[in-house]
Amino acid sequence: MDGRLITAKEVAEDLECSMQHAYKIVRKLNEELDEMGCITMRGKTNRSYYEERLFGRSDEIDLSELESKAGNER
């Protein structure tokens, strides 16, 4: 499901990790969001924040550079 929140189960599937580790990641992200004054829910976290923290911001990634590297590997 592509809602605003991502569950620990989805994190575990996305990262191919255990549920225990996924819950640890969700707790860490929720702690950070709490410090920013956001309201959080146990076992779920903000999907956009999760993607930004784990994979980086898409506006910081030079997609043309990645595409040229992918083309050279073929």
Tell me if 73 is assigned to some domain: no
Reported as half-sphere exposure (CB side, CA atoms, 13 A), residue 24 has a value of: 6
Tell me if 32 is assigned to some domain: yes
Phi, psi at residue 48, to the nearest 5°? Answer: -65, -40
Beta bridge partners, 5, equal 46
Phi, psi at residue 9, to the nearest 5°? Answer: -60, -45
Residue 54, pLDDT score: 92
Residues 16-63 pLDDT 10s: 999 999 999 999 999 999 999 999 999 999 999 999 999 887 665 555
Domain hosting residue 45, numbered range: 5-57
> Number of structural domains, the chain?
1
Closest alpha carbon to 47 in 74, 64, 25, 65: 25
Tell me if 65 is assigned to some domain: no
Phi, psi at residue 58, to the nearest 5°? Answer: -65, -30
